Amino acid sequence: MGQLDRDARVYVAGHRGLVGSAVVRHLEHEGFTNVLTATRDQVDLRDQSEVSHWFKANRPDYVFLVAGTVGGILANSSRPAEFIYDNLMIHGTVVHAAKETGVDKLLYLGSSCIYPRDADQPMTEEALLTGPLEPTNEWYAVAKIAGIKLCQAYRRQYGCDFISAMPTNLYGPGDNFDLESSHVLPALMRKFHEAKRTGDPVEVWGTGAAYREFLHVDDLASACLYLMEHYDGDGHINVGTGVDLSIRDLAETIRDIVHPDAEIVWDASKPDGTPRKLLDTSKLTALGWSPSIELRDGIESTYQWFLDHVEGGLRGASSVAAV
**Active-site residue set:** 140
Nearer to ligand GFB, 10 or 217 (CB): 217
DSSP 162-215: EEEEEE-EEE-TT----TTT--HHHHHHHHHHHHHHH-PPEEEES-S--EE-EE
The Cα–Cα gap between 296 and 216 comes to 10
Q: Which of 73, 146, 148, 299 binds ligand GFB (CB under 6 A)?
A: 73
Any contact of residue 27 with ligand GFB (CB under 6 A)? no
Give the nearest distance from C-beta 156 to ligand GFB in angstroms: 27
Any contact of residue 238 with ligand GFB (CB under 6 A)? no
Region binding ligand GFB by CB under 6 A among candidate stretches 115-123, 265-273, 289-297, 298-306: 265-273
Cis peptide before 122 (omega within 30 of 0): yes
Binding mask 128-147 for ligand GFB (x = CB under 6 A): --------xx--x-------
Any contact of residue 111 with ligand GFB (CB under 6 A)? yes
Give the nearest distance from C-beta 43 to ligand GFB in angstroms: 24
In which element (H, E) is residue 216 found? strand 214-216
Could you tell me if 320 and 313 are in contact, meaning their C-beta atoms sit under 8 angstroms apart?
A: yes
Any contact of residue 205 with ligand GFB (CB under 6 A)? yes
Any contact of residue 84 with ligand GFB (CB under 6 A)? no
The Cα–Cα gap between 125 and 166 comes to 9
Give the nearest distance from C-beta 112 to ligand GFB in angstroms: 6
Any contact of residue 149 with ligand GFB (CB under 6 A)? no
DSSP 108-119: EE--GGGS-TT-
Could you tell me if 239 and 217 are in contact, meaning their C-beta atoms sit under 8 angstroms apart?
A: no
Cβ count near 102 (within 10 Å): 10
Any contact of residue 214 with ligand GFB (CB under 6 A)? no
CA-closest candidate to residue 264, choices 249, 242, 274 = 249
CA-closest candidate to residue 14, choices 97, 109, 101 = 109
Any contact of residue 176 with ligand GFB (CB under 6 A)? no
Amino acid (1-letter code) at residue 75: A
Please report how many Cα atoms fall inside a 13 Å half-sphere around the Cα of residue 79, on the Cβ side: 16
Binding mask 30-69 for ligand GFB (x = CB under 6 A): ----------------------------------------
State residue 267 phi and psi, 5-degree precision: -105, 90
Any contact of residue 206 with ligand GFB (CB under 6 A)? yes
DSSP 263: -
Region binding ligand GFB by CB under 6 A among candidate stretches 30-38, 45-53, 73-81, 87-95: 73-81
Any contact of residue 123 with ligand GFB (CB under 6 A)? no
Which residues, 272 to 311, sit near ligand GFB by CB under 6 A? 272-273
Any contact of residue 115 with ligand GFB (CB under 6 A)? no
b/e code 258-272 from CB counts within 10 Å (16+ = b): bbeebebebeeeebb
Any contact of residue 72 with ligand GFB (CB under 6 A)? yes
Nearer to ligand GFB, 62 or 83 (CB): 83
Nearer to ligand GFB, 8 or 314 (CB): 314
Residues that bind ligand GFB (CB under 6 A): 72-74, 76, 111, 113, 136-137, 140, 169, 182-184, 187-188, 204-206, 210, 212, 247, 270-273
